[in-house]
Amino acid sequence: MEVIILPSSKEIGALAADSIEALVRNKPNAVIGLATGSSPLPIYDELARRHTEEGLSFAQASGFALDEYVGLPEGHYESYREVIRREFTNRVDVAAENVHGPNGSSQDVEAACQAYEDAIKAAGGIDLQILGVGTNGHIGFNEPGSSLASRTRIKTLAEQTRQDNARFFDSIAQVPHHVVTQGLGTIMDARHLVLVAFGAGKADAVRDFVEGPVSASCPASILQFHPRATVIIDEAAASKL
């Protein structure tokens, strides 16, 4: 695992964007794993800027979201499908039909999760997966206790995560209890993992997954087993290393 410490979220976004730009220039039909939450926003801002100002094209690329809430109505402002459209894919030239997300409103969740795994495989696997980390060490929505070999499936959110994500909703009561998420095994299949984190609120999680034991109680620690994991953080997030 390579850990890079930079002064600001803007520089973190720019460095992660460099990896994505290099990938897309080298392999125009690259498959990018897309994360939500606030951490990837500087990456998306920078990629959108490079698209507009420098002609960086995603016309042949495709994207797969990490996770999705269960039970939000289609088109809900906070559904991750909408967030990814708003924050990234609508700002670049990726084709709408090449942007995928797990289906959180299927009647047959198990079949929908399997279909998502199949779709990732059919696309040739994920070249670069963008990740944030939860304050409790989750990646995607793989909460502490998740199997290190897990695949896309339904999960119950930890109370901590519902509290953390309540800021995106009018009240905590509106935060769904269930989600579908790529599993840790699914994430580990990506050829390059780029995890970004900033702010003191992430310092405990960063210390635990970078320096602690590999353990299901800190799902992000699985990155220690990945042959190509890049962790880009600011001083505050690195303060307990």
Contacts with ligand GLP by CB under 6 A lie at 35-39, 66-67, 132-134, 140-141, 161, 165
Of 45, 46, 67, 87, which is the active-site residue? 67
Query: Is the Cβ of residue 92 or residue 187 nearer to ligand GLP in the bound state?
Result: 187
Of 68, 87, 127, 143, which is the active-site residue? 143
* Rounded Cα distance, 176 and 158, in Å: 11
Whether 67 is catalytic is yes
Contacts of residue 209, Cβ cutoff 8 Å, sequence gap at least 6: 133, 137, 218, 220, 221, 223, 224
Q: How many residues does the chain have?
A: 241
Whether 143 is catalytic is yes
Of 45, 87, 127, 136, which is the active-site residue? 136
Min CB(197)–ligand GLP separation in Å = 7
Min CB(234)–ligand GLP separation in Å = 13
Query: Is the Cβ of residue 14 or residue 197 nearer to ligand GLP in the bound state?
Result: 197
Of 76, 100, 138, 226, which is the active-site residue? 138
* Rounded Cα distance, 160 and 66, in Å: 19
Min CB(2)–ligand GLP separation in Å = 19
* Rounded Cα distance, 126 and 162, in Å: 28
Whether 90 is catalytic is no
- CA separation (Å) from 44 to 9, 21, 49, 63, 206? 12, 12, 8, 13, 22
Give strand pairing partners of 195.
Answer: 131, 231
Query: Is the Cβ of residue 67 or residue 189 nearer to ligand GLP in the bound state?
Result: 67
Query: Is the Cβ of residue 67 or residue 87 nearer to ligand GLP in the bound state?
Result: 67
| Inter-residue contact 189 to 125 (CB < 8 Å) | yes
Min CB(92)–ligand GLP separation in Å = 20
- What residues act catalytically? 67, 136, 138, 143
